[in-house]
Amino acid sequence: MTSTLPALQDRLLQDGFAFVPADAMREQLDAASLPDWPAFTASWNELAPDTYLASVGRHRRRRHAVFSADARGVHREPHQPHYQSKTYNPLQGDIERWFEPVTADGASLRRILDFCHRCFGGLAPQVAHWQVEVHQFRIEARANEAGEPTPEGVHRDGVDYVLVLLVDRSNIESGTTTIHAADGRLLGSFTLTHPFDAALVDDARVFHGVTAVTPVDPSQPAHRDVLVVTFRDALRARGGA
């Protein structure tokens, strides 16, 4: 299950990001033994509208949860708001945003969080305590309106490391992830197209964005479902950086 983890860590150290194809990610997660994966993916059908984004004329659905990670493992924390400064999110920064809590907290989510803890914790062994945030996103595309996976544009999240895991995409095209240097240079691009395709990002080193998604068949529903997990040094988080 962990045989290729050092190679992924080396790519993150070298490039600041890594695309992980579905087969490799399934190996990392031992996905064949996840009994609740169908229920986990179905939980995206229960996401609530992001009312904060709707107030500025954009649309998506989401749920959110906060965890902590340390030498004892990963632990869920009481429900709390998601906060980013305008430095990282000029569209919706400097406000506490409360979202409906993640309910699909079973074997699949815990396996993903454990993988992140091994991967990111191994890259920063000096960090004893991590603040972990989990975001379920559904981006919907309509005939007259493209869906925006990253409405804030090319950005950093203000954390240490990020996992973006594709859960499902239906009747959409595009949605290309782009990775950029601080000066805007394009460092790489790839499209998450299959369930379990993933991106790992060193948020302190590179910026990332995703192009808009449009329906293949405008007469049918179209969506892109992803799980985003962020890891941040808890000491830095408490300091407000």
pLDDT in tens, 226-239: 999 999 999 877 54
Residue-averaged pLDDT of the chain: 90
CB neighbourhood size of 162 (10 A): 23
| Residue that has been written with the tokens 């904060």 in this structure | 52
Instruction: Compute the CA torsion angle 81, 84, 86, 89 (nearest 10 deg).
Output: -110
Question: What's residue 144's pLDDT?
Answer: 81
Q: What is the C-alpha to C-alpha distance for residues 12 and 162, in angstroms, rounded to an integer?
A: 11
Question: What's residue 146's pLDDT?
Answer: 85
Which residues, in sequence order, are CB contacts of 46 under 8 Å at separation 6+?
63, 103
The band of 240, judged by pLDDT with boundaries at 50, 70 and 90, is: very low
In contact, 185 and 236? CB cutoff 8 Å: no
Q: Which CATH number is 119's domain given?
A: 2.60.120.620
Average pLDDT (196-206) is 97
Question: What's residue 220's pLDDT?
Answer: 94
Question: What's residue 30's pLDDT?
Answer: 96
Q: What is the pTM of this model?
A: 0.91
Q: Domain range for residue 86?
A: 5-238
Q: Both tokens of residue 33? A: 């033994």
Percent of the chain past pLDDT 90, that is, above it, reads: 77
What's the total number of domains in the chain? 1
Q: Give me the residues paired with residue 199 across strands.
A: 19, 164
Q: Is the pLDDT of residue 43 over 90?
A: yes
Q: What is the C-alpha to C-alpha distance for residues 123 and 139, in angstroms, rounded to an integer?
A: 31
CA distances from 53 to 68, 127, 165 (A): 27, 33, 22
Q: Both tokens of residue 113? A: 């969080």
Q: Which residue has the higher pLDDT, 59 or 18?
A: 18
